[in-house]
Amino acid sequence: MAARGAELLRPPASSGRATFLELFFDLAFVVALTRVSQRFASLGDDTGWALVSGFGRTLLLFLALWLIWSHTAWITSRYEPEQPIIQAVVVGTMFAGLIMAVTLPRAMEERALPFVAAYLMVMVVRPLVIAAALRGHPRRQVPLRLAAWASVSAPLWLAGALGPDRLRLPLWAAALAVDYLAWALGWPLPWLGAAKVRQWQIAGTHLADRHQQMFLIALGESILVIGVVFSGRDYSPIRAVAFAVAFTTSALLWRIYFHRAGLLLTDTLDRAAMPARLGAASEWTHLLLVLSVLVTSVGYELVIDDPFGRPQPCWLLFVVGGPLLFLVARMRLEYEIFGRVSRSRIIGLAVLLLATPVSAHGVPMVGLIVVAAALALVALLDALRSRGRPLEVPASPIGGTAPDVRDREA
């Protein structure tokens, strides 16, 4: 009986690259990330509690989307994506993600129920389908755990969708906390214990691919914002400058991410003795990286729309806060790959922090230029440090190195 359902598991000879189906799946999340950016941008005139509350609501919706995407990435790293049942699961998840995306702009208002219905279809029904397909295989317990924990949070999600509007945010925040806590703890159940993600057998190369692709999707969304906002406004030389600086900033984010650590993520997970442990850490890091790019893209929109507008807390949050979060997350990624943090990122972070008080009293355009200059400094220091040096061998303190790799390197 234990062998039944084994055909769903990824064989050792399976390709580690992401499939075309997964790239197709990501299209739904292009729409979703665009909707998240639009919700963030709608906070442009808010201040005080309204800004904090609006940011928190949008962040909650983003975290719900991220949970759907990340669970799918782990499924296709753990199971063979060429199997028809796994393909059906991915396509079904894509449809649910698209429903969440189109309802997201008003998910905290009149479209709460369809948003939650799509979310629960993925969180509750999808693992039951996988468990049924695995039949008697020992790994069947894992999707059953996921379904059990999702059933615990489901009443909170539904109560928030069907109840009074004023209770929606606290109820959904509690539900999301349950879902993330379950993920962090490994969905423990009485008498069965936990099945922590870091102990799973996965295709590390595939998971790295998926994380890199999601980061690129977020960058692509920022480019889309730059183009749409600039093309939709009256042309002026100053807006053209803002457009150019925003594009340069996105290019610098790409350069800084892929310089060494981001480029070697695939190799590191491939070499890791415990790829799932490193993959779990990278999951949280890329959550922060994707969020930072989304927040930064909202800053682009605000600056291109009104380069010399009146300073407001919201634009400082987006124009400077996004790049600050990016550098912090990038420092975390570097530690995961090499066990260290480069001085260039620390210097860039310090420059942005020191420039924040000045930027708070200046116009948005000045703030964006300061951000681009700080990121350019980081990229320049990275280039100077690595000039003439070969790529370093990853030395992850989290994932370790597989014994055969250590022997080969020695």
Same domain? For 208 and 190 the reply is no
Are 178 and 217 contained in the same domain?
no
Among 195, 216, 233, the domain-final residue is 195
What would the mean pLDDT of 120-145 be, rounded to a whole number? 90
- Mean pLDDT value of segment 272-280: 86
Residues 156 and 241 in one domain: no
The pLDDT assigned to 405 comes to 43
> Does residue 353 belong to any structural domain of this protein?
yes
- Asked if 34 and 115 sit in the same domain, the reply is yes
Q: Give the model confidence (pLDDT) of 299-321 as tens digits.
A: 999 899 888 887 777 788 899 99
User: For the ranges 178-182, 259-263, 341-345, which has the lowest average pLDDT?
Assistant: 259-263
> What is the pLDDT averaged over residues 258-263?
89
Question: Pick the residue with more confidence: 140 or 374?
Answer: 374
The pLDDT, as a whole number, for residue 15 is: 62
Per-residue pLDDT band at 402 (split at 50, 70, 90): low
Q: Say whether pLDDT at 406 is over 70.
A: no
Whole-number pLDDT of residue 353: 92
Least confident segment among 28-37, 189-198, 207-216, 221-230: 189-198
User: 371 and 269 share a domain?
Assistant: yes
- pLDDT bin (cut points 50, 70, 90) of residue 162 is very high
> What average pLDDT does the segment 351-372 reach?
88
pLDDT score of 363 more than 90: no
pLDDT digits (tens, 9 = 90+) for 41-73: 888 777 778 888 899 999 999 999 999 999 999
Percentage above 70 pLDDT, the chain = 95
Task: State the pLDDT at residue 16.
Answer: 66
Looking at the structure, do residues 244 and 336 belong to the same domain, yes or no?
A: yes
Q: Could you say which of 166, 195, 224 is where a domain stops? A: 195
- List the single range of 109-113, 307-311, 383-387 with lowest mean pLDDT: 307-311
Out of 6-15, 162-171, 283-292, 353-362, which region has the weakest mean confidence (pLDDT)?
6-15
Nearest CA-CA partner of 297 in 247, 345, 331: 247
What average pLDDT does the structure give for the chain?
Answer: 88
Claim to verify: residue 185 and residue 247 sit in the same structural domain = no
The total domain count for the chain is: 2
Q: What's the whole-model pTM score?
A: 0.92
Q: Which of 106-115, 148-157, 303-312 has the lowest mean pLDDT?
A: 303-312
pLDDT recorded at residue 1: 39
Model pLDDT, residue 70:
93
pLDDT band at 6 (very low <50, low <70, confident <90, very high): confident
Most confident segment among 28-32, 129-133, 262-266, 374-378: 374-378
The pLDDT value given to residue 284: 94
Residue 372's pLDDT is 96
| Residue 55 and residue 172 in one domain | yes
Reported as a single tens digit per residue, the pLDDT across 196-205 is 777 777 777 8
Residue 21 forms part of a structural domain? yes
Judged against a pLDDT cut of 70, whether residue 136 lies above it is answered with yes
What percent of the chain stands above pLDDT 90? 57
Residues 104 and 219 in one domain: no
Range of the domain at 345: 204-409
Question: Is the confidence at residue 408, as pLDDT, over 60?
Answer: no
78 and 108 together in one domain: yes
pLDDT at 2: 42
